[in-house]
A and B are shown apart, each in its own frame.
Chain A
Amino acid sequence: MADVNPLLRIENLRVHFPLTGWRVAARRGPVVHAVDGVSLTVARGESVGLIGESGSGKSTLSRAVMGVYRPTSGRVLFDGIDVHRAKGSAERQIRRRMQMVFQNPYASVNRRYTVTQIIQEPMKVQKLGDAAERERRTRELLDLVGLSSRLAYRYPHELSGGQLQRVAIARALSTRPDFLIADEPTAALDVSVRAQVMNLLVDLKQELNFSLLFISHDLATVSYIADRVAVLYLGRLVEVASIDDLERDPRHPYTEALLAAVPRPDPDAARLYRAPGGEIPSAVNPPSGCHYHPRCPLAEERCRQEYPPISVLSGNRRLACHVRAGDRPAPRLGAGAGDEPPVPYIDPSN
């Protein structure tokens, strides 16, 4: 990226999980390549969307960035500090400045805590302020996320999913972070509630000016909030581009497929006829060469043999594709309605 001093810099991050429980055997046994060499930056105040299907490693990536999982190799730098090696005050600073919102609000809060206890937990853990100050901050946060302070002593099961997700957002903001990861924060919510939470995030981001890594499987949701989008497939980034470029001119065949598969509430959009075929392969034995080649309509011989290097295109786009690597105009598949798919898609078998 052009930004020489980004807030978050992920450098060639790999997270592999051994399939067997014993660490001794882990060196030889089968390994899940959950995240396999991801590099990404998030600038100050920027909002980056991370998109991928299940098994793409997007949740693992978020947890590794937050320091919950140790990387197999590579590193995560937050404002120049290595997240996984920071000690003492540097670590405390990171824990305060990076926060996360999870997919299922009911699972991500302690069900035996009241709303107040939930919101105050990070402050307590990090010994921020005294009791009175934390109490004041809790009221402030409840107001910030648009909740009535009457809910302060309720338990999670007494709140609706939307209300509890607001509580989870308040908890994440309690330490005044300048970087927030939102891992599918609206996927578990109803349509009307989803809109409320999305709008809240957009507003909070504008008001508090934190950086955001927004993870989702839904391109429409990501494009509502993100400036830039990174597309993850089987643990690797296949394309990184601004949301405008991506919508207008997706380069990677997988991005095209995702774009074509975006559900549209329009009876005439007919995405079904452009649905990509095939299954998402397993991350234990990823396909040789480019991981997408078994599903890719453009696959050539070299795609089966070596993983494409990352090429930097104009407009700071990054792309990992042999066929589309040249900065030549590509046939469009994307957002427009009605046009015929220029390439035949594989029959959805096997």
Chain B
Amino acid sequence: MTGTANDAVNGPRPRDPGQEPAAAEGLARPSGLADLVARLTSTWVSRISLGVLMVFLLLAVFGPLLAPHDPAAMGRETLQAPSAEYWMGTDEFGRDVFSRFLQGTRISVFVGLAAVAIACVVGTIAGMAAGFSSGRIWDGLIMRTMDIVLAFPLLVLVPVVTGLLGRSGVTLGPVRLTAIPLMTLAIALVFVPIFARVARSSVLAEMEEEYIVAAKTFGARRRHILFHNVLPNITAPLIVQAAFAFGGAVVVEAAVSFLGLGVQAPDASWGTLLADGRSFLTLGCWWLVAFPSLALALTVLTFNLLGDDLRDHLDPRVRSSVRKFSRKELTRS
């Protein structure tokens, strides 16, 4: 398009004589989710980790339907090695380990997801509030509370909460919280400060940006600035953090349940499966421990890889530089 052609139609106003940038013309970038998925499936590592993630999610949702046996039914064939009948063998009561593993997967994955979701929402709101009132009393109050929470080792805080309250359960009005929801809340509590810190620092960085000043000049209120301007721009680091946190949450759940302070029989999780199987390891019954361990390791690895990839792709500013760095970081952790 040229200036002269437009001038004839639109009068003497100086038209933007620039041709459309080529990137926008033919090769318009697909935006949003489709674009992200396309980029996340661009390398083998990310394709595999996305695949593993999908398998776990499907198992968590539909797993118990696929179970070949009743996970609680005892049988005469105790401590059988994996076979065509019992894919992951049987335990000391003759229960099908595969069926119990599917049941455990559901609880482990859901507890992890729920804990991260709660932590993310609460942490983000707290962090945004702190960041927005930076330097004032609310900021100090919120962030010092977060520091106090962080000061407790996570493997002490969660067992204490679930161990003290989980046995009897807690009644909050009409809702009765049993061991599993309590544990979920406890894990969420532990992860809140992580999200709060990320949210706060992201808000502080965004508040320095000129578009926030622009929003203030045309009279935008606090709420508009926070939720319409700041929030969309800080989701990327929060999503990345959520991916890393999920791996952590699953491990915490397993550890607490392993100690016998989390999920209680007859329910199962990867942690209880490990606890149950541990004493038979000396008898050579490796299958009781191997599969839950493998599942745990795969989950953590998958989500760390995914978190890395998300960090590379979601934030255009660090896309190129972070790639090398994050790989290094991964080998350290």
Distance in Å: Cβ of A212 to nearest Cβ of chain B: 15
In the complex, what distance in Å separates the CA atom of A157 from the CA atom of B29?
A: 10
Chain A residues whose CB sits within 8 angstroms of the CB of B215 once the complex forms? 110, 121, 125
The reply to whether A23 and B16 contact each other, CB–CB distance below 8 Å, is: no
The reply to whether B211 and A175 contact each other, CB–CB distance below 8 Å, is: no
In the complex, what distance in Å separates the CA atom of A110 from the CA atom of B210?
A: 9
- In the complex, whether A49 has a CB less than 8 A from a CB of chain B is no
The reply to whether B219 and A95 contact each other, CB–CB distance below 8 Å, is: yes
* Given known A-B contacts A108-B211, A110-B211, A121 and B218 have beta carbons under 8 A apart: yes
Residues 115-144 of A, flagged 1 when their CB comes within 8 A of B and 0 if not, give: 000000110011000000000000000011
The reply to whether B232 and A110 contact each other, CB–CB distance below 8 Å, is: yes
- In the complex, whether B233 has a CB less than 8 A from a CB of chain A is yes
Q: Is the interface of B mostly helix, strand, loop or mixed?
A: loop
Residues 76-100 of A, flagged 1 when their CB comes within 8 A of B and 0 if not, give: 0000000000000001101110111
In the complex, what distance in Å separates the CA atom of A112 from the CA atom of B230?
A: 10
Distance in Å: Cβ of A179 to nearest Cβ of chain B: 11
- In the complex, whether A244 has a CB less than 8 A from a CB of chain B is no
Residue of B nearest to A202 (CB): B14
The reply to whether B18 and A102 contact each other, CB–CB distance below 8 Å, is: no
The reply to whether A163 and B16 contact each other, CB–CB distance below 8 Å, is: yes
* Given known A-B contacts A107-B211, A126-B219, A158-B21, A22 and B135 have beta carbons under 8 A apart: yes
- In the complex, whether B37 has a CB less than 8 A from a CB of chain A is no
The reply to whether B10 and A107 contact each other, CB–CB distance below 8 Å, is: no
The reply to whether B213 and A110 contact each other, CB–CB distance below 8 Å, is: no
The tally of residues in A whose CB lies under 8 Å from a CB in B reads 52
Distance in Å: Cβ of A155 to nearest Cβ of chain B: 7
Which of A22, A68, A148 is in CB contact (< 8 Å) with B216? A68
In the complex, what distance in Å separates the CA atom of A229 from the CA atom of B166?
A: 74
Q: Which of A6-26 contact B (CB under 8 A)?
A: 21-23
The reply to whether B14 and A110 contact each other, CB–CB distance below 8 Å, is: no
- In the complex, whether B17 has a CB less than 8 A from a CB of chain A is yes
* Given known A-B contacts A110-B233, A125-B218, A126-B219, A147 and B213 have beta carbons under 8 A apart: no
* Given known A-B contacts A112-B233, A196-B14, A200-B14, A122 and B210 have beta carbons under 8 A apart: no
In the complex, what distance in Å separates the CA atom of A160 from the CA atom of B219?
A: 27
Residue of A nearest to B28 (CB): A158
B interface residues, Cβ below 8 angstroms from A: 1, 6, 10, 13-18, 20-21, 23-24, 28-29, 31, 135, 209-211, 213-221, 224, 228-229, 232-233, 316
